[in-house]
Amino acid sequence: MVQSTTKPSVHKVGFISPPAWFDISPTEFLRIAPKNTIVMQAVMRLPDFNYQVDGVEQFINSVPELRACFNSLTESGADVVTQFGYPFSLAHGWEKANKVQKSIQGSSRTSFVMMGVEIVYAMKHLNCKSIAIASTYYSGKMSSILHEYLLEAGFKILHSENWQSQGIAEDKGSNLFIGDGELDPTAWKSPVDAIANAVRNVSKNASAADCILVSGGGMRLLDIAETLEKEVGKPVIGGDLAIYWGILRRLGIKRSVRGHGKLLANLV
Amino acid sequence: MVQSTTKPSVHKVGFISPPAWFDISPTEFLRIAPKNTIVMQAVMRLPDFNYQVDGVEQFINSVPELRACFNSLTESGADVVTQFGYPFSLAHGWEKANKVQKSIQGSSRTSFVMMGVEIVYAMKHLNCKSIAIASTYYSGKMSSILHEYLLEAGFKILHSENWQSQGIAEDKGSNLFIGDGELDPTAWKSPVDAIANAVRNVSKNASAADCILVSGGGMRLLDIAETLEKEVGKPVIGGDLAIYWGILRRLGIKRSVRGHGKLLANLV
């Protein structure tokens, strides 16, 4: 009996990027993706969007824009579309964020992977129940929103630190995001040393945690997760890893991605 | 005396892609770009856009959408923004297309490279005056629009062939684009053999031409220009090469890109 192969000749992946930020995720993803993968990107257009405010309303109100981006990428032929940036999920709360994801995906044959939704499934996949958080450039207010979201999703939060509690940035209480200079969250490059130190600090102060979660999404872990996990002895998970994991799973990839931490090594 | 260096640490390049088409230009460009280059992409959103019509109005009417894409990429920090697809220039005519380019670029510090405008400057840069055209998937009507545009820009057109005149697709007279199956212009992949044959045919029938122009933009030459040029003995130029050339020049890159034809080898 001849088995028919349904393997596609090419995997088409779409990325939705937040406004006014240079997001290199599509090309970074290609480094770990199967060779027959091609990528596209749509930038959210929110002319009035402002990273320097203290309210989450603009994230809640951006659902129609996420939908428009999703549609433009499915019309281009994407098999999977992902979305960068936790707050576009966090702002809704866990249950509602799932509804947003399902609503945008709708009856499309294209899957929709939201960073804030996927990080929960990723941590559950690795059987993490009690977690410690390095929330880096999240202000106290934004960290609280993250905590509420994760509690609603069923996690126990043992410990949490941000740039402010680590003494390297000031939280003036008026913004969702903090940090400037090397720590400026709107810069395209992740501050590798600061992230590594944040993970080490959090690990020391919460040795019982099943894993360490790094937020926000701009703090890329792809190139440091493996080393950090060896150092702290537990999974170190973040937004970049979560969406790449989510995409690869939607594409039906089962083969472990090696060298980038436990999550990408566990696609099944 | 210490010389100050003004070299940027990274080149940020934005790509505007036409609607409902999987455009791999950003990642393709990275293959020939300086290592410190990062890319982003914005997809045009024109929900009513239809590749199966015979009018150019939708290209003329898409200027506001081009502008919105340009702005979203400059807000993300792009140093140069390019735009894929000849007809978004051709539909205006040469003089007007230049005005559109200047109007969108405005007073931005970010340069705007339009494919249809840049191809003219590229051919003039190589001192091409009389040209032969492989217009591949352009219908008779679209080929005429291209001819008028190039005549207005000052070229002498010695010869032109499309899939129809080459006997491999049917021009029903009702569309701007022709071809299906392997020649479907809305597929993401270029039909390499058909392009090579088209260039050979056109070369045979117009031996006096200074260069051979391949349109439309979907017919990628990056991987075949060098070989074809050796075969036909003159420059073979197309939309992909023209925008990559235009970007590299705007970034101030002077070092020849080798192995991809005469245009990219002549950045200065």
- Which tokens go with A45? 């257009």
What pLDDT does B19 receive? 96
CB contact under 8 A, A41 and B42: yes
Q: How far is B232 from chain A (nearest CA, A)?
A: 32
Chain A partners of B40 at a C-beta cutoff of 8 Å?
Answer: 17, 22-24, 41, 43
Identify the residue with better confidence: B54 or A162. Answer: A162
Residue written as tokens 């240079």?
A22
Q: How many CB pairs under 8 A join A and B?
A: 88
The residues on B that touch A, with CB distances below 8 Å, are 10, 12, 17, 19-24, 26-27, 30, 38-45, 47, 68, 71-73, 75-78, 188
Q: Report the candidate in A196, A190, A235 with the shortest Cα–Cα distance to residue A216.
A: A190
> In this predicted structure, what is the pLDDT of residue B174?
82
* pLDDT, tens digit, 9 for 90 and up, residues A61-120: 999 999 999 999 999 999 999 999 999 999 999 999 999 999 999 999 999 999 999 999
Q: A73 to chain B: which residues are within 8 Å by CB?
A: 43
pLDDT in tens, A137-152: 999 999 999 999 999 9
CA-nearest residue of chain A to B39?
Answer: A24
List the one residue out of B160, B11, B188 whose CA is nearest residue B82: B11
Q: Do A76 and B19 count as a contact with CB atoms less than 8 A apart?
A: yes
Residue B173 confidence (pLDDT):
84
Determine the distance in angstroms separating the CA of A21 from the nearest CA of chain B, rounded to an integer: 4
Nearest-by-Cβ selection for A43 from B12, B21, B42: B42
d(CA B11, CA B252): 10
3-state secondary structure chain A: CCCCCCCCCCEEEEEEECCCCCCCHHHHHHCCCCCCEEEEEEECCCCCCCCCCCCCHHHHCCHHHHHHHHHHHHHCCCCEEEECCCHHHHCCCHHHHHHHHHHHHCCCCCEEEEHHHHHHHHHHHCCCCEEEEEEECECHHHHHHHHHHHHHCCCEEEEEEECCCCCCCCCCCCCCECCCHHHCCCCCCCCHHHHHHHHHHHHHHCCCCCEEEECCCCCCCCCCHHHHHHHHCCCEEEHHHHHHHHHHHHCCCCCCCCCCCHHHHCCC
Q: What residue type is A64 in one-letter code?
A: P
d(CA A222, CA B116): 39
pLDDT for the residue numbered B20: 94
Q: How far apart are CA B76 and CA B38, in angstroms?
A: 12
Q: What pLDDT was estimated at residue A173?
A: 84
Residues of B in contact with A19 (CB under 8 A): 72, 75-76
Give the separation between CA A74 and CA A72, rounded to whole angstroms: 6
Contact A17 B40 (CB under 8 A): yes
ipTM for the complex shown? 0.94
Minimal CA separation from A25 to chain B, in Å:
9
CA distance B254 to A251: 41
CA angle centred on B98, ends B185 and B33, rounded to 5°: 60
Ranking A44-58, A76-90, A244-258, B65-79 by mean pLDDT, the lowest is A44-58
Q: Can you give the pLDDT at residue B83?
A: 98
pLDDT band of A132, cuts 50, 70, 90: very high
More confident residue, A8 or A221: A221
| CA–CA separation, A27 and A20 (whole Å) | 18
Is B11-117+241-258 a CATH 3.40.50.12500 domain? yes
What value does the mean pLDDT take over residues A185-208?
A: 95
Which residue stretches of chain B are H helix?
25-32, 57-60, 63-75, 87-90, 94-105, 115-125, 140-152, 192-205, 225-232, 239-250, 262-265
- Looking at chain B, the domain(s) classified CATH 3.40.50.12500 span 11-117+241-258, 120-239
Contacts of A71 in chain B (CB under 8 A): 47
Residue A2 pLDDT more than 80? no
Per-residue model confidence (pLDDT) at position B55 = 84
Q: Is the dihedral of CA B201, B206, B209, B214 positive or negative?
A: negative
**A168-172, A256-260, B101-105, B143-147, range with the lowest pLDDT:** A168-172
Q: What is the dihedral of CA B78, B80, B83, B86, to 10 degrees?
A: 180
Distance from CA of A224 to the nearest CA of B (A): 20
Which of A12, A41, A71 comes nearest B40 by C-beta?
A41
Mean pLDDT over all residues of chain A?
Answer: 95
Per-residue tokens: A145: 């929103």
Which pLDDT score is estimated for B101?
A: 98
Burial class (CB in 10 A: 0-12, 13-18, 19+), A265: middle
pLDDT bin (cut points 50, 70, 90) of residue A7 is low
Contacts of B36 in chain A (CB under 8 A): none
How distant is the alpha carbon of residue B228 from its chain centre?
A: 18
Q: What is the mean pLDDT of residues A215-221?
A: 96
**Spatial contact of B237 and B119, defined as CB atoms under 8 Å apart:** yes
> CB B17 to CB A26 under 8 A?
no
pLDDT score of A4 more than 90 = no
Residue A134 β-bridge partners: A161, A214
What confidence score (pLDDT) does residue A1 get? 37
Domain A120-239 classification at class level:
alpha beta
Contacts of A109 (CB under 8 A, 6+ apart): A79
Per-residue pLDDT of chain B (268 residues), as tens digits, is 344 445 668 999 999 999 999 999 999 999 999 999 999 999 999 988 998 888 899 999 999 999 999 999 999 999 999 999 999 999 999 999 999 999 999 999 999 999 999 999 999 999 999 999 999 999 999 999 999 999 999 999 999 999 999 999 999 888 899 999 989 998 989 999 999 999 999 999 999 999 999 999 999 999 999 999 999 999 999 999 999 999 999 999 999 999 999 999 999 9
Instruction: Indicate which of B45, B76, B84, B188 best probes the interface with A, i.e. most A CBs within 10 Å of its own CB.
Output: B76
- Contact: B43, A38; criterion CB under 8 Å: no
The whole-angstrom distance between B220's CA and the closest CA on chain A is 15
